[in-house]
Structure 1
Amino acid sequence: MNSSGSFRAVLSPARAEQVVRRSRFIGYAWPARDFEALEAALARVKAESPGATHVCFGAVVGGGPAGAAVERASDAGEPAGTAGRPILGVIRQRGLVQTAVVVVRYFGGVLLGAPGLVRAYAGTAALVLDRAPIGVFRPFVVWELRVPYSLWGPVSALWQGRPGVQVGKVAYGEEVRVELAVAEEESAELASQIAGRSGGTVMPVEGGVRWLPAGN
């Protein structure tokens, strides 16, 4: 199987806030694999932000195996170009896809002016992305192996502690059945090692490609 490349994306939601000249800015980072995920993130933030003056966002939706990346941004009533685009710019600078950043503002009574708004929104986006867990996703080949108990020790030792292998379900019956996700660039080498150590009796059955954060 041939997939290529990698991509960076937020793994799970994060939150950060700052106060700029009495206005409170709260940033939220969310995974955004598709527009449904983006809409869900916006709805949740709005529900949790009663009385907010503005709820602005920037997002790179999709990208990687989810298809072409699509950019979206909203100033939500702030002067044009002072909120959504600066937030989006930070996401771009970090090289992220499948990522949304929502910034909520509670007006503190002091006007910031256009340059001040740009700095505040971009700065809040940077703060929350500094806190957000970021994953580098790579293509992993999914395998199922059936291993006799007599070979389980020496065969399983081949992937134990190997960063490019993630172990899934393990079932013990007449033999050991294990699901592995193997980094695509390592799959040929590992398959050869397993065949050699088992005398050709253990062969992986491929079940497609899954994009996973490396090291998780």
Structure 2
Amino acid sequence: MNRFTVCGESKAEITVERSRFLAVAAGVTDEKQAAEFVAGVAKRFYDATHNCYAFSAGGAKRFSDDGEPSGTAGKPILNVIEQKKLVNTAVVVTRYFGGVKLGAGGLVRAYSNAAAAALDRAELARCVKAREIFLSMPFNLFRQAERLCDRYALQKKTVFSTQACLNLLVEKEKTQAFLDELSALNYLIEAQCGAERDFIIPVGGGENK
């Protein structure tokens, strides 16, 4: 199943009854990075009335109303993220109060619309599960192995020591096919599988390209 997130940052601003709502959306890899992003935006807009946020990252979902009435800001922002079927995504909506109270319904609409505007403008990226794979081989097999790796690797790092080594990141669903081809290529190429992690692949979309 395809999973999508935001590539880089995306911003939008709306005004409702003289209150300004500034939304910033970003792709994040885990809860720690999401919290750092939220803190960074709050610091950027330190003089705002509210910095409300929500994120879904690394299996964790968090949100905050930051002083707005309960349930009128953070949860609506999270709902927008989920409605757009995004993962590893954080959104902060900053409000500068304009002097007119919006009521619970008005706040829900304002925060939802601001978050949606930022996400609609975002460039999307595909979020895939990837596996670290470490290869070692005699130097004379390096070029053969490298050609195969270039077909599969999302990331590749070459290290030369007593042998030629390739440190790879391969999409999880393609890992077995890669290892099968590698085994058929030459039995002297040794492979070790490492940790699994998310990898972001830009795919375009949105207005911010």
What TM-score do you get using the length of structure 1 for normalisation? 0.76
Q: Which residue of 2 aligns with 1:204?
A: 191
> Aligned partners of 2:118 and 2:96: how far apart in 1?
17
Query: Any residues of structure 2 matched to 1:116-195 within 5 Å, and which?
Result: 116-160=106-150, 162=151, 164-173=152-161, 175-195=163-183
Identity %: 36
Please provide the CA RMSD for this pair.
2.9
> Aligned partners of 2:153 and 2:174: how far apart in 1?
9
| Greater CA drift, 177-186 or 140-149 | 140-149
Q: Deviations over 1:111-138 (max 9, x none)?
A: 4344332222111111222344544333
| Greater CA drift, 146-155 or 22-31 | 146-155
Task: Give the aligned residue type for 1:121.
Answer: Y
Query: Any residues of structure 2 matched to 1:3-82 within 5 Å, and which?
Result: 7-10=3-6, 12-30=8-26, 31=28, 33-34=30-31, 36-63=32-59, 69=60, 71-82=61-72
Q: Among residues 67, 75, 94, which one is paired with 1:85 in the alignment?
A: 75
Q: 1:51 aligns to what SS in structure 2? A: coil
1:170, 1:178 within 8 Å by CA — same for their partners in 2? yes
> Aligned partners of 1:210 and 1:60: how far apart in 2?
16
Q: Among residues 73, 85, 97, which one is paired with 1:95 in the alignment?
A: 85
What TM-score do you get using the length of structure 2 for normalisation? 0.78
2:131, 2:194 within 8 Å by CA — same for their partners in 1? yes
> Aligned partners of 2:185 and 2:202: how far apart in 1?
25
| Residues 80 and 191 of structure 1, relative CA distance in 2, 3 Å threshold | closer
The count of aligned residue pairs is 202
Task: Give the aligned residue type for 1:33.
Answer: D
Q: Which residue of 2 aligns with 1:213?
A: 200
